[in-house]
């Protein structure tokens, strides 16, 4: 019997009725002759609510306690879903991450899976049960409960699919799949039938929040195909896979955007070895992820260093960076949090010329100023005024003819 792993996100299990809908879908999958494992997220905004509670009782909640607290959200969903199945006389059992054999390292709040021993899951499947696993959590060697970071249930699902030898991992959510651009901004956006792991990762890194990036990475490493589809319809979703076909490699697959970008400039930095590391090391240690970095050519061995971060990291970053700037003799630090970014993504870009100029032309035709540019082999990103982001996405979608099949 084929094993299938299906993951249902928070909005797909937000209330009792939606949990019932998921129960029905699992029964259908089982009745088609599969062994079914479901991974579930916490109901709706439960995780946000728990974090808020923790912040009400403590200014700096202990990280270990935080993980135990947050893990309960997923357990609520798993148990309720199992009860729904059992009351309709279907065989089912819920398992926490620990019971499911998901071992992690001890980095609380962002633990990494070190090993999965699916013995218990396999035993339950053999008994004909649908197995419901609480997502986003695991257990350390020392038996402490950990969580995998926000959005981590996707990673649980892909990890389990790999450990169980499933043919693919199915991620059910409130969108119909991966689109050429956000359909709320571009009504003509098209749902992609397929996208390769690398393109998907690049989209996620620049704001297309369909899935947890670590889950896509894991799928890529183990070549586990991941289907993203809606839990509210039976429409075909988007398959994230490896070995893209010739046709897909030849074009731009989509336009991603992120309206919440801030730019920080350290002005008047002495141009000498070790400066960049003295600025970026403390940020890395504080878990701030830095995106584009630009260092101007220096005049008289003095230069400016500009980098971008997520806008909600600005306060934290300025606090860390100001004393560092002072200690290396820089003039000042300035920030601007009114920026956003737009990116053109496609595996085809690594072989074809002219993509960048086409992007700049489309933006300039809309009189949108480009503040910073960064690229990878399969992506070009421009930092622009936050307010111009929707207009830019629409213009780029058109310029790269993404509405046409
Ligand atoms: N419930 C967790 C979160 O909201 C994990 C997840 O949904 O994947 O981040
Ligand atoms: Mg999610």
* Nearest partner of 226 among 255, 252, 246, 204, judged by Cα: 204
Q: Which ligand is nearest to the CA of 74?
A: 1
- Residue-wise pLDDT for 244-253, tens only, equals 554 555 578 8
Percent above pLDDT 90 for the chain = 80
Q: Is the CB of 97 under 6 A from ligand 1?
A: no
Q: Name which of 7-11, 137-141, 284-288 the model is least confident about.
A: 284-288
> Once rounded to an integer, what is the mean pLDDT over residues 206-227?
89
Q: Which residue has the tokens 């421009």?
A: 382
Whether the Cβ atoms of residue 169 and residue 161 lie closer than 8 Å to each other: yes
Q: How confident is the model at residue 207 (pLDDT cuts 50, 70, 90)?
A: low
**What CA–CA distance (Å, rounded) separates 221 from 323?**
40
Paired sense of beta strands 130-134 and 35-40, if any: parallel
Q: Nearest C-alpha to atom 9 of ligand 1 is from which residue?
A: 150
Percent above pLDDT 70 for the chain = 97
Q: Nearest C-alpha to atom 4 of ligand 1 is from which residue?
A: 47
User: For the chain, what is the largest distance between any 2 Cα atoms, rounded to a whole number of angstroms?
Assistant: 78
Sign of the Cα pseudo-torsion (5, 9, 15, 21, in order): negative
Domain 255-399 CATH (choose: 3.30.2090.10, 3.30.2130.10, 3.40.50.1100, 3.40.50.300): 3.30.2130.10
Distance from the alpha carbon of residue 11 to the mean position of ligand 1, in angstroms: 10
> Once rounded to an integer, what is the mean pLDDT over residues 177-182?
92
Q: Which residue has the tokens 């009860």?
A: 83
Q: Name which of 128-132, 196-200, 348-352, 398-402 the model is least confident about.
A: 348-352
Distance from the alpha carbon of residue 91 to the mean position of ligand 2, in angstroms: 27
Token pair listed for 76: 């609520």
* Nearest partner of 201 among 217, 219, 190, 223, judged by Cα: 217
Q: What CATH fold (topology level) applies to the domain 3-174?
A: Carbamate kinase (3.40.1160)
Q: What is the pLDDT of residue 271?
A: 85
Q: Is the CB of 118 under 6 A from ligand 1?
A: no
Hey, which of 150, 173, 215 would you mutate to test ligand 1's pocket, going by the most ligand atoms within 8 Å of its Cβ? 150
Token pair listed for 164: 């169980």
> Once rounded to an integer, what is the mean pLDDT over residues 160-188?
94
Hey, which of 76, 153, 211 would you mutate to test ligand 1's pocket, going by the most ligand atoms within 8 Å of its Cβ? 153
> Average pLDDT over the chain, rounded to whole?
93
Atom of ligand 1 nearest to the CA of 150: 9
Q: What is the pLDDT of residue 72?
A: 98
Domain ranges of the chain: 3-174, 255-399
């Amino acid at each position: 019997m084929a094993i299938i792993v299906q993951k249902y996100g928070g909005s797909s299990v937000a209330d009792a009725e939606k949990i019932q809908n998921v129960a029905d879908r699992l029964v259908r999958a089982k009745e088609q002759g599969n062994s079914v494992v479901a991974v579930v997220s916490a109901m709706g905004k439960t995780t946000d609510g728990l974090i808020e509670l923790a912040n009400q009782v403590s200014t700096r909640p202990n990280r270990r306690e935080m993980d135990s607290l947050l893990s309960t959200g997923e357990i609520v969903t798993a148990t309720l879903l199992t009860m729904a199945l059992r009351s309709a006389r279907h065989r089912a059992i819920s398992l926490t991450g620990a019971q499911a054999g998901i071992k992690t390292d001890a980095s609380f709040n962002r633990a990494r899976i070190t090993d999965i021993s699916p013995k218990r899951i396999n035993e339950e499947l053999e008994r004909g049960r649908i197995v419901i696993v609480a997502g986003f959590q695991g257990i350390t060697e020392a038996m402490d409960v950990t969580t995998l970071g926000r959005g981590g249930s996707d990673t649980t699902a892909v990890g389990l699919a790999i450990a169980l030898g499933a043919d693919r991992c199915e991620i059910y959510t409130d969108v119909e799949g991966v689109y050429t651009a956000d359909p709320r901004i571009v009504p003509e956006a098209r749902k992609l039938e397929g996208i390769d792991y690398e393109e998907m990762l690049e989209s996620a890194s620049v704001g297309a929040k369909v899935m947890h990036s670590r889950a896509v990475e894991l799928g890529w490493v183990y070549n586990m195909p991941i289907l993203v589809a809606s839990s509210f319809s039976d429409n075909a979703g988007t398959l994230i896979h490896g070995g893209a076909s010739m046709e897909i490699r030849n074009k731009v697959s989509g336009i991603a955007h992120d309206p919440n970008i801030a730019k920080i400039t350290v002005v008047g930095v002495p141009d000498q070895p070790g400066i960049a590391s003295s600025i970026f090391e403390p940020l890395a240690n504080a878990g701030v992820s830095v995106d584009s970095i630009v260092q101007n050519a220096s005049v008289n061995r003095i230069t400016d260093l500009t980098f971008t971060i997520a806008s909600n990291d600005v306060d934290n970053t300025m606090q860390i960076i100001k004393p560092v700037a002072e200690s290396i003799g820089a003039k000042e630090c300035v920030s601007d949090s009114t920026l956003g970014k737009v990116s053109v993504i496609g595996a085809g870009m690594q072989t074809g010329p002219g993509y960048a100029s086409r992007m700049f032309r489309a933006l300039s035709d809309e009189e949108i100023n480009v503040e910073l540019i960064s690229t990878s082999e399969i992506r070009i990103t421009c930092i622009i005024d936050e307010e111009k982001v929707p207009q830019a996405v629409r213009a780029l979608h058109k310029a790269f003819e993404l509405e046409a099949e």
